[in-house]
Homo-oligomer: A and B are copies of this chain.
Amino acid sequence: MTDPLLQRRARLMGPNVPTFYAEPVHVVRGQGVWLWDADGRRYLDCYNNVPHVGHCHPKVVEAIARQAATLNTHTRYLHGAVLDYIERLTATMGHGLSQAIMVCTGSEANDVALRMAQAATGATGLIATDNTYHGNTSAVSQLSTRRPPIGGYPSHVRLVPAPESLAPLGGSPEAQAGAFAANVARAIAELDEAGHGFAGFMLCPFFANEGFPTLERGFLDPTVAVIRRAGGLILADEVQPGFGRLGDAFWGYQRLGFVPDVVTLGKPMANGHPVGAVVTRPDIMAEFRTAFGYFNTFGGNPVAAAAALATLDVLEEEGLVGNACEVGAYLLDRMRALAHPMLAEVRGAGLFLGAEFTHDDGTPATAFADRLVEGLRQRGILAGRIGRAMNTLKIRPPMPFSRENADFLVDALDEVLAQTEEPA
Protein backbone atom coordinates (compact mmCIF):
# COMPACT_ATOMS: atom_id res chain seq x y z
CA MET A 1 0.00 0.00 0.00
CA THR A 2 2.18 2.81 -1.29
CA ASP A 3 -0.50 5.38 -2.10
CA PRO A 4 -0.41 7.98 0.71
CA LEU A 5 -4.17 8.49 0.43
CA LEU A 6 -4.74 4.75 0.93
CA GLN A 7 -2.45 4.83 3.94
CA ARG A 8 -4.29 7.82 5.42
CA ARG A 9 -7.57 6.08 4.74
CA ALA A 10 -6.45 2.99 6.65
CA ARG A 11 -5.17 5.13 9.50
CA LEU A 12 -8.39 7.15 9.77
CA MET A 13 -11.04 4.62 8.73
CA GLY A 14 -9.52 1.31 9.83
CA PRO A 15 -8.97 -1.90 7.91
CA ASN A 16 -11.22 -3.64 5.40
CA VAL A 17 -12.91 -0.51 4.04
CA PRO A 18 -14.65 -1.45 0.78
CA THR A 19 -13.00 0.17 -2.26
CA PHE A 20 -13.12 -0.29 -6.00
CA TYR A 21 -9.85 -1.62 -7.45
CA ALA A 22 -6.79 -2.67 -5.44
CA GLU A 23 -5.46 0.81 -6.15
CA PRO A 24 -8.63 2.88 -6.17
CA VAL A 25 -9.11 5.86 -8.46
CA HIS A 26 -8.58 9.19 -6.71
CA VAL A 27 -11.49 11.11 -8.15
CA VAL A 28 -11.60 14.90 -8.02
CA ARG A 29 -14.22 16.02 -10.57
CA GLY A 30 -17.31 14.75 -12.30
CA GLN A 31 -19.53 15.94 -15.13
CA GLY A 32 -22.24 14.05 -17.00
CA VAL A 33 -20.93 10.53 -17.67
CA TRP A 34 -17.31 11.50 -16.95
CA LEU A 35 -15.06 11.42 -13.90
CA TRP A 36 -11.56 12.90 -13.63
CA ASP A 37 -8.77 11.75 -11.34
CA ALA A 38 -6.17 13.86 -9.56
CA ASP A 39 -3.78 13.52 -12.51
CA GLY A 40 -6.35 14.96 -14.89
CA ARG A 41 -7.14 11.59 -16.45
CA ARG A 42 -10.70 11.20 -17.70
CA TYR A 43 -12.83 8.09 -17.11
CA LEU A 44 -16.09 7.12 -18.80
CA ASP A 45 -18.32 6.20 -15.88
CA CYS A 46 -20.08 2.96 -16.79
CA TYR A 47 -20.80 1.96 -13.22
CA ASN A 48 -22.29 4.65 -10.98
CA ASN A 49 -26.03 4.78 -10.50
CA VAL A 50 -25.89 7.44 -7.77
CA PRO A 51 -25.35 10.36 -10.22
CA HIS A 52 -28.51 9.19 -11.99
CA VAL A 53 -29.02 12.17 -14.33
CA GLY A 54 -25.27 12.73 -14.69
CA HIS A 55 -22.49 13.82 -12.37
CA CYS A 56 -23.00 17.34 -11.02
CA HIS A 57 -26.05 18.06 -13.17
CA PRO A 58 -26.36 21.87 -13.04
CA LYS A 59 -30.11 21.83 -12.47
CA VAL A 60 -29.80 19.57 -9.41
CA VAL A 61 -26.79 21.50 -8.11
CA GLU A 62 -28.69 24.76 -8.48
CA ALA A 63 -31.75 23.38 -6.69
CA ILE A 64 -29.58 22.23 -3.78
CA ALA A 65 -27.66 25.50 -3.59
CA ARG A 66 -30.77 27.65 -3.78
CA GLN A 67 -32.71 25.72 -1.18
CA ALA A 68 -29.72 25.35 1.17
CA ALA A 69 -29.42 29.15 1.11
CA THR A 70 -33.14 29.63 1.81
CA LEU A 71 -34.17 27.03 4.41
CA ASN A 72 -32.89 23.66 5.55
CA THR A 73 -34.47 22.61 8.78
CA HIS A 74 -35.91 19.39 10.14
CA THR A 75 -39.22 17.97 9.14
CA ARG A 76 -41.57 18.62 12.06
CA TYR A 77 -42.71 21.96 10.71
CA LEU A 78 -44.78 22.25 7.54
CA HIS A 79 -43.09 22.72 4.18
CA GLY A 80 -44.58 22.37 0.72
CA ALA A 81 -41.69 20.85 -1.26
CA VAL A 82 -41.73 17.43 0.34
CA LEU A 83 -45.46 17.14 -0.36
CA ASP A 84 -44.98 18.23 -3.98
CA TYR A 85 -42.34 15.53 -4.29
CA ILE A 86 -44.37 12.71 -2.76
CA GLU A 87 -47.26 13.67 -5.06
CA ARG A 88 -45.02 13.55 -8.16
CA LEU A 89 -43.33 10.34 -7.05
CA THR A 90 -46.42 8.35 -6.17
CA ALA A 91 -48.16 9.44 -9.40
CA THR A 92 -45.70 7.15 -11.23
CA MET A 93 -46.55 4.08 -9.16
CA GLY A 94 -50.25 3.24 -9.30
CA HIS A 95 -51.92 0.39 -7.37
CA GLY A 96 -52.80 2.60 -4.40
CA LEU A 97 -49.10 3.19 -3.59
CA SER A 98 -49.92 6.76 -2.60
CA GLN A 99 -48.13 7.51 0.68
CA ALA A 100 -44.46 7.82 1.54
CA ILE A 101 -42.00 8.15 4.39
CA MET A 102 -38.92 10.12 3.41
CA VAL A 103 -35.59 8.91 4.79
CA CYS A 104 -31.90 9.50 3.98
CA THR A 105 -30.66 6.19 2.57
CA GLY A 106 -31.88 2.99 0.94
CA SER A 107 -30.80 1.16 4.10
CA GLU A 108 -33.07 3.32 6.23
CA ALA A 109 -35.87 2.75 3.71
CA ASN A 110 -35.51 -1.02 3.85
CA ASP A 111 -35.25 -0.97 7.64
CA VAL A 112 -38.65 0.76 7.71
CA ALA A 113 -40.13 -1.54 5.05
CA LEU A 114 -39.35 -4.66 7.08
CA ARG A 115 -41.15 -3.17 10.08
CA MET A 116 -44.10 -2.13 7.90
CA ALA A 117 -44.53 -5.78 6.95
CA GLN A 118 -44.25 -6.80 10.60
CA ALA A 119 -46.69 -4.11 11.76
CA ALA A 120 -49.21 -4.91 9.01
CA THR A 121 -49.15 -8.69 9.50
CA GLY A 122 -48.39 -9.06 13.20
CA ALA A 123 -45.81 -11.68 12.15
CA THR A 124 -42.02 -11.36 12.22
CA GLY A 125 -40.76 -13.83 9.58
CA LEU A 126 -38.85 -12.36 6.63
CA ILE A 127 -37.56 -13.84 3.38
CA ALA A 128 -34.86 -12.70 0.94
CA THR A 129 -32.80 -14.47 -1.71
CA ASP A 130 -29.54 -16.20 -0.87
CA ASN A 131 -27.39 -13.89 -3.01
CA THR A 132 -28.35 -10.33 -2.32
CA TYR A 133 -27.73 -7.11 -0.42
CA HIS A 134 -30.41 -4.73 0.84
CA GLY A 135 -28.44 -2.41 3.09
CA ASN A 136 -26.27 -1.85 6.12
CA THR A 137 -28.47 -1.50 9.24
CA SER A 138 -28.55 -4.29 11.82
CA ALA A 139 -31.99 -5.49 10.74
CA VAL A 140 -31.46 -5.14 6.99
CA SER A 141 -28.05 -6.80 7.05
CA GLN A 142 -29.86 -9.90 8.30
CA LEU A 143 -31.36 -10.17 4.80
CA SER A 144 -28.03 -9.78 3.03
CA THR A 145 -25.68 -12.55 1.99
CA ARG A 146 -23.17 -10.32 0.25
CA ARG A 147 -22.30 -8.76 3.65
CA PRO A 148 -23.41 -11.32 6.26
CA PRO A 149 -24.71 -9.90 9.56
CA ILE A 150 -22.76 -9.77 12.79
CA GLY A 151 -23.96 -12.63 14.97
CA GLY A 152 -25.23 -14.70 12.04
CA TYR A 153 -28.74 -15.07 10.59
CA PRO A 154 -31.61 -15.06 13.11
CA SER A 155 -34.26 -17.76 12.89
CA HIS A 156 -36.96 -15.34 11.69
CA VAL A 157 -35.05 -14.81 8.43
CA ARG A 158 -35.04 -17.39 5.61
CA LEU A 159 -33.05 -17.16 2.42
CA VAL A 160 -34.36 -18.77 -0.77
CA PRO A 161 -32.21 -19.72 -3.77
CA ALA A 162 -31.89 -16.78 -6.17
CA PRO A 163 -32.89 -17.17 -9.81
CA GLU A 164 -30.04 -17.59 -12.29
CA SER A 165 -29.60 -17.27 -16.03
CA LEU A 166 -27.08 -20.00 -16.77
CA ALA A 167 -28.13 -22.43 -14.03
CA PRO A 168 -31.85 -21.76 -13.62
CA LEU A 169 -33.74 -23.18 -10.65
CA GLY A 170 -35.74 -26.25 -11.64
CA GLY A 171 -33.27 -27.03 -14.41
CA SER A 172 -34.70 -24.81 -17.17
CA PRO A 173 -35.81 -21.21 -17.73
CA GLU A 174 -39.39 -22.46 -18.11
CA ALA A 175 -39.36 -24.32 -14.79
CA GLN A 176 -37.60 -21.53 -12.86
CA ALA A 177 -40.64 -19.41 -11.93
CA GLY A 178 -42.40 -22.39 -10.37
CA ALA A 179 -39.25 -23.63 -8.64
CA PHE A 180 -38.60 -20.18 -7.17
CA ALA A 181 -42.17 -19.98 -5.85
CA ALA A 182 -41.97 -23.50 -4.40
CA ASN A 183 -38.86 -22.50 -2.41
CA VAL A 184 -40.67 -19.42 -1.11
CA ALA A 185 -43.65 -21.56 -0.08
CA ARG A 186 -41.27 -23.89 1.77
CA ALA A 187 -39.63 -20.96 3.58
CA ILE A 188 -43.04 -19.63 4.62
CA ALA A 189 -43.98 -23.04 5.99
CA GLU A 190 -40.72 -23.16 7.96
CA LEU A 191 -41.34 -19.69 9.41
CA ASP A 192 -44.86 -20.71 10.41
CA GLU A 193 -43.58 -23.90 12.00
CA ALA A 194 -40.93 -21.98 13.95
CA GLY A 195 -43.66 -19.72 15.32
CA HIS A 196 -42.51 -16.54 13.55
CA GLY A 197 -45.27 -16.39 10.99
CA PHE A 198 -44.64 -14.69 7.65
CA ALA A 199 -44.41 -10.92 7.40
CA GLY A 200 -42.83 -10.24 4.02
CA PHE A 201 -40.48 -11.08 1.17
CA MET A 202 -38.00 -8.34 0.25
CA LEU A 203 -36.66 -8.57 -3.27
CA CYS A 204 -35.15 -6.47 -6.00
CA PRO A 205 -37.51 -6.70 -9.00
CA PHE A 206 -34.47 -6.85 -11.27
CA PHE A 207 -32.50 -9.22 -8.99
CA ALA A 208 -29.65 -6.77 -9.48
CA ASN A 209 -27.20 -8.15 -6.92
CA GLU A 210 -28.08 -11.68 -7.94
CA GLY A 211 -26.61 -10.87 -11.37
CA PHE A 212 -29.92 -9.82 -13.01
CA PRO A 213 -30.78 -13.13 -14.68
CA THR A 214 -32.96 -12.92 -17.77
CA LEU A 215 -36.53 -13.44 -16.56
CA GLU A 216 -39.80 -13.35 -18.46
CA ARG A 217 -42.51 -10.86 -17.58
CA GLY A 218 -44.72 -12.75 -15.13
CA PHE A 219 -41.80 -14.63 -13.58
CA LEU A 220 -42.91 -13.63 -10.09
CA ASP A 221 -46.63 -14.40 -10.60
CA PRO A 222 -46.49 -17.85 -8.91
CA THR A 223 -44.43 -16.37 -6.06
CA VAL A 224 -46.84 -13.46 -5.61
CA ALA A 225 -49.72 -15.94 -5.42
CA VAL A 226 -47.89 -17.88 -2.71
CA ILE A 227 -47.17 -14.69 -0.74
CA ARG A 228 -50.75 -13.40 -1.02
CA ARG A 229 -52.17 -16.75 0.09
CA ALA A 230 -49.91 -16.67 3.15
CA GLY A 231 -51.00 -13.12 4.02
CA GLY A 232 -47.50 -11.66 3.71
CA LEU A 233 -46.28 -8.54 1.94
CA ILE A 234 -44.08 -8.09 -1.13
CA LEU A 235 -41.42 -5.48 -0.51
CA ALA A 236 -39.86 -4.25 -3.77
CA ASP A 237 -36.37 -2.80 -3.28
CA GLU A 238 -36.19 -0.45 -6.29
CA VAL A 239 -32.90 1.16 -5.25
CA GLN A 240 -31.12 -0.23 -8.32
CA PRO A 241 -33.76 -0.73 -11.07
CA GLY A 242 -35.97 2.26 -10.23
CA PHE A 243 -36.30 5.74 -11.74
CA GLY A 244 -36.37 4.51 -15.32
CA ARG A 245 -33.02 2.76 -15.48
CA LEU A 246 -34.51 -0.30 -17.18
CA GLY A 247 -35.74 1.89 -20.05
CA ASP A 248 -39.06 0.25 -20.82
CA ALA A 249 -40.57 0.91 -17.38
CA PHE A 250 -40.10 3.51 -14.68
CA TRP A 251 -40.07 0.81 -11.97
CA GLY A 252 -38.69 -2.71 -11.97
CA TYR A 253 -41.99 -4.15 -10.73
CA GLN A 254 -43.79 -2.65 -13.74
CA ARG A 255 -41.36 -4.36 -16.10
CA LEU A 256 -41.79 -7.73 -14.39
CA GLY A 257 -45.55 -7.16 -14.16
CA PHE A 258 -46.43 -7.55 -10.50
CA VAL A 259 -47.83 -5.30 -7.77
CA PRO A 260 -45.74 -4.76 -4.64
CA ASP A 261 -47.17 -3.74 -1.28
CA VAL A 262 -44.17 -1.59 -0.35
CA VAL A 263 -41.57 0.07 -2.60
CA THR A 264 -38.22 1.29 -1.29
CA LEU A 265 -35.97 3.86 -2.92
CA GLY A 266 -32.45 5.15 -2.42
CA LYS A 267 -29.23 5.85 -4.32
CA PRO A 268 -30.28 7.54 -7.60
CA MET A 269 -33.26 9.38 -6.11
CA ALA A 270 -31.61 12.80 -5.69
CA ASN A 271 -28.51 12.40 -7.85
CA GLY A 272 -26.14 11.96 -4.91
CA HIS A 273 -27.88 13.90 -2.18
CA PRO A 274 -28.72 11.47 0.65
CA VAL A 275 -32.40 10.76 0.02
CA GLY A 276 -34.44 7.58 0.28
CA ALA A 277 -38.12 6.74 0.64
CA VAL A 278 -40.62 4.04 1.48
CA VAL A 279 -43.85 4.11 -0.52
CA THR A 280 -46.90 2.07 0.37
CA ARG A 281 -50.69 1.98 0.48
CA PRO A 282 -52.56 4.00 3.13
CA ASP A 283 -53.74 0.85 4.94
CA ILE A 284 -50.19 -0.38 5.48
CA MET A 285 -48.90 3.10 6.31
CA ALA A 286 -51.57 3.49 8.99
CA GLU A 287 -50.59 0.16 10.58
CA PHE A 288 -46.94 1.21 10.69
CA ARG A 289 -47.49 4.78 11.86
CA THR A 290 -49.81 3.57 14.61
CA ALA A 291 -47.35 0.91 15.78
CA PHE A 292 -44.30 3.20 15.75
CA GLY A 293 -43.93 6.98 15.97
CA TYR A 294 -41.37 7.10 13.16
CA PHE A 295 -39.55 10.37 12.73
CA ASN A 296 -36.52 11.12 10.56
CA THR A 297 -34.74 14.41 11.21
CA PHE A 298 -33.20 14.92 7.76
CA GLY A 299 -35.57 12.74 5.71
CA GLY A 300 -37.43 14.89 3.19
CA ASN A 301 -36.11 18.19 4.56
CA PRO A 302 -36.42 21.16 2.18
CA VAL A 303 -33.04 20.57 0.49
CA ALA A 304 -33.65 16.83 0.13
CA ALA A 305 -37.03 17.54 -1.45
CA ALA A 306 -35.55 20.16 -3.80
CA ALA A 307 -32.78 17.79 -4.93
CA ALA A 308 -35.22 14.92 -5.52
CA LEU A 309 -37.68 17.17 -7.39
CA ALA A 310 -34.92 18.50 -9.64
CA THR A 311 -33.78 14.95 -10.41
CA LEU A 312 -37.31 14.03 -11.52
CA ASP A 313 -37.47 17.23 -13.60
CA VAL A 314 -34.24 16.43 -15.43
CA LEU A 315 -35.32 12.84 -16.06
CA GLU A 316 -38.43 14.19 -17.80
CA GLU A 317 -37.00 17.25 -19.52
CA GLU A 318 -34.07 15.37 -21.03
CA GLY A 319 -36.06 12.27 -21.89
CA LEU A 320 -33.59 10.10 -20.03
CA VAL A 321 -35.87 7.08 -19.64
CA GLY A 322 -36.30 7.00 -23.42
CA ASN A 323 -32.56 7.40 -23.75
CA ALA A 324 -31.97 4.43 -21.45
CA CYS A 325 -34.32 2.38 -23.59
CA GLU A 326 -32.76 3.37 -26.91
CA VAL A 327 -29.08 3.53 -26.00
CA GLY A 328 -29.47 0.48 -23.78
CA ALA A 329 -30.86 -1.55 -26.70
CA TYR A 330 -28.04 -0.34 -28.96
CA LEU A 331 -25.42 -1.19 -26.34
CA LEU A 332 -26.97 -4.61 -25.74
CA ASP A 333 -26.84 -5.36 -29.48
CA ARG A 334 -23.23 -4.27 -29.75
CA MET A 335 -22.21 -6.27 -26.70
CA ARG A 336 -24.01 -9.34 -28.03
CA ALA A 337 -21.99 -9.02 -31.23
CA LEU A 338 -18.74 -9.39 -29.28
CA ALA A 339 -17.09 -12.72 -29.95
CA HIS A 340 -15.09 -14.41 -27.22
CA PRO A 341 -15.01 -18.09 -26.24
CA MET A 342 -15.54 -17.25 -22.56
CA LEU A 343 -18.46 -14.86 -23.09
CA ALA A 344 -21.37 -17.05 -21.98
CA GLU A 345 -24.20 -14.53 -21.98
CA VAL A 346 -24.93 -10.85 -22.49
CA ARG A 347 -28.14 -9.70 -20.79
CA GLY A 348 -29.96 -6.87 -19.06
CA ALA A 349 -32.41 -4.05 -19.74
CA GLY A 350 -32.09 -0.35 -20.43
CA LEU A 351 -28.85 0.97 -19.01
CA PHE A 352 -28.29 -2.02 -16.71
CA LEU A 353 -26.38 -4.61 -18.68
CA GLY A 354 -24.08 -7.49 -17.96
CA ALA A 355 -21.74 -9.93 -19.69
CA GLU A 356 -21.17 -13.25 -17.94
CA PHE A 357 -17.91 -15.13 -18.46
CA THR A 358 -17.33 -18.85 -17.95
CA HIS A 359 -14.63 -21.43 -18.61
CA ASP A 360 -14.98 -24.21 -21.19
CA ASP A 361 -16.54 -26.44 -18.56
CA GLY A 362 -19.14 -23.82 -17.67
CA THR A 363 -17.53 -22.86 -14.34
CA PRO A 364 -17.42 -19.13 -13.55
CA ALA A 365 -14.43 -17.18 -14.92
CA THR A 366 -14.17 -14.92 -11.88
CA ALA A 367 -10.51 -13.95 -12.15
CA PHE A 368 -10.89 -13.33 -15.89
CA ALA A 369 -13.80 -10.95 -15.26
CA ASP A 370 -11.68 -9.16 -12.67
CA ARG A 371 -8.91 -8.70 -15.24
CA LEU A 372 -11.43 -7.25 -17.68
CA VAL A 373 -12.52 -4.63 -15.15
CA GLU A 374 -8.87 -3.73 -14.58
CA GLY A 375 -8.18 -3.66 -18.33
CA LEU A 376 -11.14 -1.33 -18.90
CA ARG A 377 -9.90 0.97 -16.18
CA GLN A 378 -6.54 1.19 -17.90
CA ARG A 379 -8.43 2.34 -20.99
CA GLY A 380 -10.31 5.00 -19.01
CA ILE A 381 -13.52 3.12 -18.35
CA LEU A 382 -15.05 2.40 -14.92
CA ALA A 383 -17.10 -0.79 -14.68
CA GLY A 384 -17.80 -3.45 -12.02
CA ARG A 385 -18.61 -7.11 -11.44
CA ILE A 386 -21.64 -8.90 -10.04
CA GLY A 387 -23.29 -12.31 -9.75
CA ARG A 388 -22.91 -15.21 -7.35
CA ALA A 389 -19.31 -15.84 -8.48
CA MET A 390 -18.59 -12.21 -9.46
CA ASN A 391 -18.00 -13.37 -13.02
CA THR A 392 -20.43 -10.98 -14.69
CA LEU A 393 -19.21 -7.62 -15.97
CA LYS A 394 -21.68 -5.00 -14.71
CA ILE A 395 -22.52 -1.93 -16.80
CA ARG A 396 -24.77 0.61 -15.04
CA PRO A 397 -23.84 4.13 -16.16
CA PRO A 398 -25.49 7.49 -15.45
CA MET A 399 -28.66 7.86 -17.53
CA PRO A 400 -27.41 10.45 -20.08
CA PHE A 401 -25.14 7.72 -21.55
CA SER A 402 -24.99 8.21 -25.32
CA ARG A 403 -24.46 5.98 -28.38
CA GLU A 404 -20.97 7.44 -28.64
CA ASN A 405 -20.31 6.47 -25.04
CA ALA A 406 -21.62 2.99 -25.84
CA ASP A 407 -19.29 2.72 -28.84
CA PHE A 408 -16.34 3.88 -26.76
CA LEU A 409 -17.14 1.23 -24.14
CA VAL A 410 -17.68 -1.67 -26.55
CA ASP A 411 -14.65 -0.84 -28.70
CA ALA A 412 -12.51 -0.78 -25.56
CA LEU A 413 -14.06 -3.99 -24.26
CA ASP A 414 -13.36 -5.65 -27.60
CA GLU A 415 -9.68 -4.72 -27.29
CA VAL A 416 -9.48 -5.75 -23.66
CA LEU A 417 -11.07 -9.11 -24.47
CA ALA A 418 -8.52 -9.70 -27.21
CA GLN A 419 -5.62 -8.84 -24.92
CA THR A 420 -6.69 -10.44 -21.66
CA GLU A 421 -5.49 -13.89 -20.87
CA GLU A 422 -7.20 -16.28 -18.58
CA PRO A 423 -5.19 -16.42 -15.35
CA ALA A 424 -3.19 -19.62 -14.94
A residues bordering B, Cβ < 8 Å? 3, 5-6, 8-9, 11-20, 24-30, 35, 48, 50-51, 55-56, 58, 60-61, 64-65, 68-74, 76-80, 83, 86-87, 90, 98-101, 104-108, 111, 114-115, 118-119, 124, 136-139, 141, 147-151, 266-267, 271-274, 282, 285-286, 288-298, 301, 303-304
Contact = CB atoms under 8 A, between A and B. Distances in A.
A412 B172 CA distance: 76
A273 to B, nearest CB: 8
A135 to B, nearest CB: 9
B292 A150 contact: yes
A269 to B, nearest CB: 11
Contacts of A286: 14-15
A150 B118 contact: yes
A323 B161 CA distance: 59
A20 B77 contact: yes
Contacts of A35: 71, 73
B115 A138 contact: yes
B58 A297 contact: no
A65 B61 contact: yes
Contact of A56 (B24, B71, B136, B304): B71
A209 to B, nearest CB: 13
Contacts of A19: 76-78
Nearest to A304: B274
A56 B78 contact: no
A254 to B, nearest CB: 21
A301 B107 CA distance: 16
A73 B45 CA distance: 11
Contacts of A101: 13-14
Contacts of A76: 18-20, 24
Given A51-B73, A303-B272, A27 B78 contact: yes
A105 B108 contact: yes
A245 to B, nearest CB: 16
A287 to B, nearest CB: 10
Contacts of A50: 72-74, 297-298
Contact of A13 (B3, B99, B124, B267): B99
A68 B64 contact: yes
Nearest to A66: B65
A270 to B, nearest CB: 10
A17 B297 CA distance: 12
A73 B30 contact: yes
Contact of A105 (B60, B70, B99, B297): B297
A285 B15 CA distance: 8
29 contacts: A12-B83, A13-B83, A15-B289, A18-B294, A25-B77, A27-B71, A27-B77, A28-B70, A28-B79, A35-B71, A55-B71, A64-B65, A68-B273, A72-B271, A104-B104, A104-B274, A105-B105, A107-B108, A107-B296, A108-B108, A108-B137, A111-B137, A136-B294, A137-B139, A138-B138, A141-B292, A147-B292, A274-B274, A274-B298
Contacts of A271: 72
B69 A56 contact: yes
